[in-house]
Amino acid sequence: MKKYILALDQGTTSSRAILFDHQGRICGSAAQEFPQHFPQPGWVEHDPNEIWNSQLTVARKVLHDNHVDGGQILAIGIANQRETTVVWDRKSGEPIAPAIVWQDRRTADTCEALRADGKAKKITDITGLELDAYFSATKLKWLLDHVPGARERARHGALAFGTIDSWLTYKLTGRHVTDVSNAARTMLFNIHLMRWDHDLLQLFDIPEEMLPQVVSSSEEVGHTRAALFGAEIPVAGIAGDQQAATFGQACLKPGMVKNTYGTGCFMMMHLGRHPVASHNRLLTTVGWRVDGATDYLLEGSVFMGGATVQWLRDGLGIIQQSGDVEALAASVPDNGGVFMVPAFVGLGAPHWDPYARGALVGLSRGSNRGHIARAALEAIAYQSAELMAAMQKDVEASHRDIPLTEVRADGGAARNDLLMQFQADLLGVPVVRPTVTETTALGAAYLAGLAVGYWETQEEIAAQWSCDRRFEPAMSADRRAELLGQWGRAVERSRGWDTAR
């Protein structure tokens, strides 16, 4: 019987399950959205049980629909939305509160207080991360501070903390683990010593007893309960979604870059086996650990990518489906001088301004729905161009010869040809879309498959990558500079807005 790897791609707005064969081809997929909860301005929550139920449902559905039984699955790989924070009771297995999502800004003031106390540099030196509410540490501290009795229960080992990979692995296998790529996103993990950092645990007042065991990204960590899929299947690959996408894009050598156009946008540059400290407010993070070797990445994060298009659909109602945005944006020849800064939850790299808010500038009586749609799409590309500029500065400062020759694009919005062409124009280098755009799931599958011998080497994996379309830059340097200058002016008008009185 044919054998497969099952990838569970647990994202911010939906859960997916995809079957991959030995050639890295998609043999079946299922997806399901789950509710988003916004109890207060700046707060974003998920119900961990809704996440689990949606993920289990699509995993069973993809097996059922493709007439595959559990015995045909050699391994499961997990890719997950990162930083989202879950705390559950070890005895009952039930969450003690809603999950605090990576987009949530409720702990921005906590971060500002720590910055004022001079803690930012130490945190960055240890973790490679910016001191920001984006990461798990302040979210976990908030839960321990606000759920009655939580910190005391945690000290006695009664509570477990995890990011979504930990939560899913626990529900699948009963084990409490996280891989190095997800641990590196908590703001509690020393990326140089590859362990939880005692000084940071003390700083955030987090009991070590509640932390998961840190494992490699490619190893068997447990087996699913037979009742779930009719067989005990090894969970053998775990990586945060952006690290998984980088692996799935076969960006396995220094200098290779991928950009994922999902809910947010995440640009990753492979650094090799040695981290590079950022001087331009990017993140130095663990990519993956395979066969005892750790690869590092340089990352820039945009909080609102495809979520900007969702806002056009759900907030403004100017499109019926997210896929309609390309035709609407193409209905006008250019943006008509309209710029959108989608800082709905603040600005990520390289600004890290939690108090920025969304702005729509340059409107005139001639502006219409098409201009707004185009401005929204172009905003995704402008934000990514800022990340690339910061990366190039960091690489130059490191005196390492890491040439940039192309950007490999993936994620839902990578299917948008207008966006991809504009992105190539802004970057001045080709943007390449792979044949398989579900690279997050593919990366999780590859990591799991390597652990069980389905694929033998990373070189074998790299050989499977293929190009669907290559977008060559066609914009003049002068026009590029003009547009980026106007974008910079628009960004300045959005910054610090939430503190203005």
Tell whether residue 383 is among the known ligand binding residues: no
Instruction: State the Cα–Cα distance between residues 412 and 247, nearest whole angstrom.
Output: 17
Instruction: State the Cα–Cα distance between residues 265 and 302, nearest whole angstrom.
Output: 5
**What DSSP character marks residue 28?**
E
The token pair that represents 297 in the structure block: 């990445």
Tell whether residue 310 is among the known ligand binding residues: yes
Q: Which residue is associated with the tokens 């800064």?
A: 341
Tell whether residue 241 is among the known ligand binding residues: yes
Instruction: State the Cα–Cα distance between residues 287 and 297, nearest whole angstrom.
Output: 5
Tell whether residue 412 is among the known ligand binding residues: yes
Tell whether residue 306 is among the known ligand binding residues: yes
Tell whether residue 181 is among the known ligand binding residues: no
Tell whether residue 416 is among the known ligand binding residues: yes
Secondary structure (3-state) at 352:
coil
Q: Which residue is associated with the tokens 């401005």?
A: 375
How many residues does the structure list for the chain? 501
The token pair that represents 207 in the structure block: 């009991």
Tell whether residue 494 is among the known ligand binding residues: no
Instruction: State the Cα–Cα distance between residues 149 and 37, nearest whole angstrom.
Output: 24
Which H/E stretch holds residue 258? strand 257-261
Tell whether residue 32 is among the known ligand binding residues: no
| Torsion sign (Cα): 472, 477, 478, 482 | positive
Secondary structure (3-state) at 148:
coil
Secondary structure (3-state) at 107:
coil
At position 135, the amino acid (one-letter code) is F
With CA atoms as reference, report the closest residue to 200 among 255, 266, 268, 123: 123
Tell whether residue 294 is among the known ligand binding residues: no
Tell whether residue 365 is among the known ligand binding residues: no
The token pair that represents 261 in the structure block: 């156009």
Neighbours of 336 (CB within 10 A): 17
Tell whether residue 324 is among the known ligand binding residues: no
Neighbours of 220 (CB within 10 A): 15
List, as residue ranges, the binding site for ATP.
12-14, 263, 306, 310, 412
List, as residue ranges, the binding site.
12-14, 16, 82-83, 134, 241-242, 263, 306, 310, 412, 416
List, as residue ranges, the binding site for glycerol.
82-83, 134, 241-242
List, as residue ranges, the binding site for ADP.
12, 16, 263, 306, 412, 416
